Chains A and B, each alone.
Chain A
C-alpha cells in the first residue's frame, strides 16, 4: 500500500480512529497496530510480511542473546553474527543479480563459466530501511545504549507503517521509548501533521511527478536528442524532482505519525542551501547520514587517524552509501563523487580560503546536481552520453514557464530565510480542525486532478 492511493485513504482513517480508541490499553493497542502495519506492508505481497516477521524475530533473538552474554567479546560475536545475517538477507535480495553477473563476466573473461545461477529476485519494498533500523537496534543494545525491548515493541518499531517503506530511518532508542507510555490524546500536533501531509502531497504529486513527466524522463531517456540547454535544465529539474519526491514522502510519513501521536526525526532541511558538502549531508537524507556516520564511518575510525585515514574512511563510507541505493555503477560513482568532494573539503579545512558564500553555494549546488546525473542516468554509458550533450549547443525545447517556475520555485524556496516560512507553516497549523479537514480534502482533490490516468507513480526511494 502506498500513501497517495485510494486504499490508504480508506485504511488510514479506520486505523487512526481505532488507534486513539485503543491507545489507553497498550496490551490491546500494540497487537492492533502491529496487525495494521503488517496489513499495510503485506498488501503488495504476503511473502514480504513473512520476511519482515523473520527479520524481526532474528534480530530480537540476537538482542536478547547479546543482553544475556556474559562477556563483551561474546556480545560482539553475537552482534556481528546477527548484523551479518541482516546484510546477507539484504544483499541477497538487492545485489545478488548484479554481483552474479559481474562475477560471471569476470570468470568468463578468463575462460571459466558462469558459477552462479542468474536470478532476478524481487526486492521487498523498504528492506534497506528495515535492515538499517534492525542493525541500529542490535548495535545500540550491544553498546549499552538500549536494553532489549519486548518482542512486540521491537516488532512495532520495525513495522510501524508510516516509516516501514522508505523511512525516515528512526533509531530504536528514539522510537521504542515512545511505546513505553500511551501517547497523550490531549496534546496531538494535528495542525503540524496535516500541513506536512498536504505539503508532501503537493511536493510529490504536483511538482515531482510533473517535472518527471514534462522534462526529466524524456531527456534522461534519450539525451542525444537534446542539446546543452535542455540537458542542463533536465539535470536541475531532476535535482528538484528527487528532493520533492523523497522529502514529500518523508513529510507525509512524519505527518501521519504526528496524527497518531508519534514523533519521527527530521530527514531534510533545505539541502540546496548548503554551502559545503558536509553541510549538504547534514541537510539531505539526514537519518541516513546519521546511520552511516554512527555505524560505518566512526567504527572505521572516523577522523581520528590523520588525514589519509580520514580520507579513506570518507571514501569507503560514501561509496558504500552510494551502493546502498542500488546495484549499479552509477550509484557507486555518485557516492565516490561525494566522497571525493568531502575529502577535498576536509583537506582544505583550516586553510585560509575565504570564498564568498554565493560562490561556495554555486559550486556545491552545481556539483550536487552533476552528481544527480550519475544517480539518475541508469547506466554509465547513458551518463556519459548525457554529460557529452552538455557541450552540445542547440535550442531550448523543454523549458515551459511551468517547468521553469517549478524548478526555480523548489530551489529558490530553500534559499529563503527559514523564519518567515516557519511562520506560514504555523499559521496554517493554527487553523481550526474543520478548516484543516476541508483544506486537506481540497489539496488532495487539486493534486489528484493533475495526475494523468489517476495513478500516482511510485516514490523514487521505494526502489532503494
Chain B
C-alpha cells in the first residue's frame, strides 16, 4: 500500500501571520471591487436562478449591486478589458426580444404544415445526411455523444453543441433565437436534433408584462420561441428538425414545467410537419407522464435516468438515440 507520511501532514503554511481583521478586509474589498466592476453580471445571475430561496436572496443582493455598477463606469471598462477572454457564446442581439404576439385575423396555413404522407403523396427522395447538429441544454448530453459515436462511421459530420444551464425562457446565459441563427449560419446542418427543457419555467415577456409559468399564456409564448427556432433551423425547408419532448422529471414542480414545455413543442412544430418531427421522449421514458427510473431495454429492466431525476443516463441516451436514428432514417440515407 502507498505509505503517505506517517506523521500527520497537518502543517500550517509558512509565511506571515496577520490579524483576523485583515482577512475580513481582504474578502470584503474583493467583494466590493467585484460589485463595482461586475454588478450587472450579479444582477443577471440572480435573474437566471431557478425559483427558490437562493434566487430571492441573489435578486435582493443583485439589484443594488447592479444599481451601483450602472452609475459607475467600471463595468464597461472591465468588460472591454476582459472581452478577449470570453468564448463566443454570448447572447448578442436576440431575436426573441423582438418577438411579438401574433397579429389579428386568421393566420395563413403554409404548405409546410403537411407531411406528404398525410396527403398520400410519395415522400421526397432521401438524400444523404451530411451534417447533423445536436444541440439543446444539458438534456442533449450524453445523447449528442451517443449519436456522434453511432454516426461517425457513416460519414455523417455530427456537430455537438450543448449549452448547459440555458433555456428558451432563461435569457441570461443564451438567447436561443440568436443562437439558433448563429448555429445555422455556421454549420448549415442538414438536420438538427434539439433536446431542451431542463432549465425552463422563467417568466416570459408579454404585451401586458411578464408571463408566469406554466399556463396557456406561458406555453404559447414558449411555443412562439420554439417555432421561431424551427423556422431558422429548417432553412426554408432545406433541413429537418427533430425536437425531443422532455421525459417527466421526478420533482413535481419541474414536472409541471415540463408538461407545459412538451405541449408547447407540439404546437410549435405544427406548421412545419413536412420538416419538423416531434420525437416523444416523454412517452418513451415516462408513459402517462409518470416518472420512472427504469424501463425495458433489450428485454431487460435497466436504469435509464440519472440520479438527479431529470437527465437520461448513458443507457437512456442510447434508447433516445435509437428513436432519433430511426427518425433520421425515414428522412435521410443513413446506414
Contact = CB atoms under 8 A, between A and B. Distances in A.
A297 B152 CA distance: 45
Given A6-B45, A120-B303, A174-B10, A16 B4 contact: no
A452 interface: yes
Contact of A222 (B22, B89, B148, B294): B148
B148 A225 contact: yes
A265 B9 contact: yes
A185 B22 CA distance: 10
A171 B8 contact: yes
Given A13-B28, A191-B16, A297 B1 contact: yes
B3 A278 contact: yes
Interface in B163-178: 163-166, 172-174
Contacts of A174: 8, 10
Interface stretch (B237-245, B262-270, B278-286, B305-313): B305-313
A286 B23 contact: no
A395 interface: no
Contacts of A10: 31, 57-58, 61
Contacts of A436: 26
Contacts of A218: 160
Interface centre among B13, B27, B37, B302 (most CB of A within 10 A): B27
Contacts of A105: 300
B293 A120 contact: yes
Given A426-B14, A444-B30, A445-B37, A193 B165 contact: no
A215 to B, nearest CB: 14
A302 interface: yes
A280 B18 contact: no
Given A13-B31, A444-B34, 7 more contacts: A119-B294, A174-B10, A191-B16, A293-B4, A422-B14, A430-B16, A449-B86
Interface string A288-305: 011011000110001100
Closest 6 CB pairs of A and B: A281-B2, A437-B29, A221-B145, A441-B33, A297-B1, A449-B82
B54 A434 contact: no
A258 B30 contact: no
A192 B15 contact: yes
A353 B255 CA distance: 64
Interface string A95-124: 001000100110010000010001111110
Nearest to A12: B27
Contacts of A187: 17-18
24 contacts: A13-B24, A43-B54, A97-B303, A105-B300, A120-B294, A122-B307, A123-B307, A186-B17, A191-B16, A192-B14, A194-B26, A221-B142, A222-B149, A222-B158, A225-B152, A263-B12, A265-B9, A378-B314, A426-B14, A433-B18, A433-B25, A438-B30, A441-B30, A454-B48
Main secondary structure of the interface of A (DSSP, over half): helix
A360 to B, nearest CB: 16
B13 to A, nearest CB: 4
A16 to B, nearest CB: 6
A206 B21 CA distance: 30
B102 interface: no
Contacts, number: 240
A342 B2 contact: yes
Contacts of A128: none
A454 B173 contact: yes
Given A9-B31, A437-B25, A185 B314 contact: no
Interface centre among B9, B61, B153, B305 (most CB of A within 10 A): B9
Nearest to B293: A120
A354 B165 CA distance: 53
A457 interface: yes
Nearest to A121: B307
Interface residues of B, number: 80
Contacts of B30: 437-438, 440-441, 444
Contact of B27 (A16, A261, A426, A442): A16
A452 B57 contact: no
Contacts of A313: 1
Contacts of B142: 221, 378
B144 interface: yes
Interface string A215-228: 00010011011000
Contacts of B12: 189, 258, 263
A148 B160 CA distance: 54
B124 interface: no
Contact of A453 (B27, B165, B300, B309): B165
B82 A446 contact: yes
A274 to B, nearest CB: 10
Contacts of A317: 1
A453 B78 contact: no
B246 to A, nearest CB: 17
Nearest to A255: B13
Contacts of B25: 433-434, 437
Interface string A157-178: 0000000000000010010000
Contact of A282 (B3, B26, B163, B300): B3
A430 B15 contact: yes
A191 B75 CA distance: 27
B130 to A, nearest CB: 15
Contacts of A9: 31, 34
Nearest to B2: A281
B335 interface: no
Interface centre among B2, B26, B54, B145 (most CB of A within 10 A): B2
A200 interface: no
Contact of A441 (B8, B24, B37, B58): B37
Given A224-B152, A281-B4, A450 B85 contact: yes
A14 to B, nearest CB: 10
A445 B301 contact: no
Contacts of A190: 17-18, 22-23, 26
Contacts of B27: 12-13, 16, 259, 437, 440
B19 interface: yes
A433 B25 CA distance: 7
A289 B307 CA distance: 28
Given A122-B307, A122-B309, A429-B15, A302 B1 contact: yes
Interface in B64-109: 78, 82-83, 85-87, 89
